[in-house]
Amino acid sequence: MAEKKKEKTDKDRTSWKILAGLAGSCAAELKLFISSLLVLCTVATFLQFLPPRFSVSTSDLHLCISKISTPIAPLIYPLPPAAAASLPTIPPPPPPTQERLLEGGIVKRSFNPYGTAAYNFITMGAYRGGVSTFAVVGLASKPLHVYGKPTYQCEWIPHRDNSTSDRPISAAGHRILPDWGYGRVYTVVVINCTFPEPVNLDNSGGNLVLRASTSGAGDRDFNLTDTIGTLTEQPGEVDFDLFTSPPKYDYLYCGSSLYGSLSPQRVREWLAYHVRLFGTRSHFVIHDAGGVHPDVLEVLKPWMELGYVTLQDIREQERFDGYYHNQFMVVNDCLHRYKFMAKWMFFFDVDEFIYVPPKNTLRSVLDSLSGYTQFTIEQMTMSSKLCLSDDYGKNYRKWGFEKLVYRDVKRGVRRDRKYAVQPRAAYATGVHMSQNIAGKTSHKTELQIKYFHYHGTIAQRREPCRIFVNRTETTEDNTPYVKDTTMRDIAGAVKLFELKMIGPRLQKSRQ
């Protein structure tokens, strides 16, 4: 019995020694665990004494994050202190009113406005039109101009540190609405600012400020005015000789907004054809509203490298709901931006081909029309799917205007005309002609110049030939057509011209 007790005591001592050894080896971990437990208990005890209104909600976190992530808009046109001091402050919105009961039991209802229906003015560009005149091109709320009478005031504020005269000059802004009422939420507005004396003649620099007033339109109780810095001229920046010197180019093309999935091959054909027609003293301004995808850009690059093409990214204008990708604003910006860069400025689309009959040149035609500020061009409408049976099986090797050889001859149809203008005598422009020019317009040009229109082919990324015909006359969809190989006969010369100018780099362009 005594031996059993002794054996049990020895086992208990052995177990205690094992536990003690384990505790000694884990002393550091136990201290950390106990310390962490003590801190947690302390925090839990402290929270019990906080008032119940103290809390952090998801809305609080959202507000905090939004304040951090909201970008601050940069000041695009910084004004000198004197100009900034003269800017009117925007009045705070009136406090909301409540409906109330009037004598006689009449309920007086209240109307409280919030937000903005449309911007008062959206600028695209501002340009000089001479020593004393400027043009500001942009968009404005269409209802404001259709149903209201907004006014504009122009002011030139010299840079005081450099100017021989620090006196600001003011003039009334004359608005031009060139989009023929086609606008949607926004309409196109060109503001002409003509001052009573030369502006910045000492080339010391300054700022053109436009004050756009609603004149009670939208809310008759308020005449809201937005002050917009539209143009800054740095000291020595203006080349006044530009306004009287011969232009750099004979012909400049102002393109409308390009959008959608355009055919690189059709763009390639159009550009090679017109560079050849317009000659070395020409330039093409292309406006990308989403249509210049990578394949189209590859077609433009060779001509951009040679200095024939300028590509402008105007995709941001899609934010503002105007007519047809805001093409009226785009062509007016082009007119004023390049006003003194070209003798003649052309307006037509990339599925339209200008044609001058044999024994004439573009130069000879335009020289004969030099007494006019503007002339319009008659349309030759071509089928976008009828091709010759002889081309079947080899049509994929031919260019679009080479294989589409059937012309629409339906009578009694009004066909759109395109046009060219001498830009120095134009105040604003349109898509089919300008109604704001100084000088005469000629419409009798069908024997001198015309254009072939391959409607829709630029937006089709497939082989255009759908129907093959072996007749000189045919009818399709109740429309009569005749065989016309005018453009087909020029195709070979255009291909050789492209090969000479840029080599074979575009030979594998896709449809």
Q: What pLDDT is recorded for position 395?
A: 85
Q: Going by CATH, does the domain composed of 246-502 fall within 3.90.1200?
A: no
Architecture (CATH level 2) of domain 117-237: Sandwich (2.60)
Q: What pLDDT is recorded for position 65?
A: 39
Contact between 291 and 259 under an 8 Å Cβ cutoff? The reply is: yes
- Domain residue spans in the chain? 117-237, 246-502
Cα-based distances in Å from 508 to 184, 243, 264, 404, 448: 41, 44, 10, 20, 35
Q: Tokens at residue 43, please?
A: 């925090």
Contact between 378 and 445 under an 8 Å Cβ cutoff? The reply is: yes
Residue 64 is classified by DSSP as H
> What is the DSSP pairing of strand 374-381 with strand 441-442?
parallel
Give Cα 323 distance to the centre of its chain.
Answer: 12
The one-digit pLDDT tens for each residue of the chain (511 residues) are: 445 444 545 555 555 454 445 455 555 555 666 777 676 666 666 555 554 444 444 344 344 434 433 443 433 445 555 545 545 455 566 677 788 888 888 887 677 777 778 899 999 999 999 999 999 999 999 999 999 999 999 999 998 765 556 789 999 999 999 998 888 999 999 999 999 999 999 999 999 999 999 988 878 888 889 999 999 999 999 999 999 999 999 999 999 999 999 999 999 999 999 999 999 999 999 999 999 999 999 999 999 999 999 999 999 999 999 888 999 999 999 999 999 999 999 999 999 999 999 989 999 999 999 999 999 999 999 999 999 999 998 888 899 999 999 999 999 999 999 999 999 999 999 999 999 999 999 999 999 999 999 999 999 899 999 999 999 999 999 999 999 999 999 999 999 999 999 999 999 888 8
Between CA 491 and CA 495, with CA 493 as vertex, the angle to 5 degrees is 70
Q: What is the pTM of this model?
A: 0.79
In this structure, is the dihedral angle defined by the CA atoms of residues 451, 455, 459 and 460, taken in order, positive or negative? Answer: negative
In this structure, is the dihedral angle defined by the CA atoms of residues 390, 395, 400 and 402, taken in order, positive or negative? Answer: negative
Q: What pLDDT is recorded for position 220?
A: 82
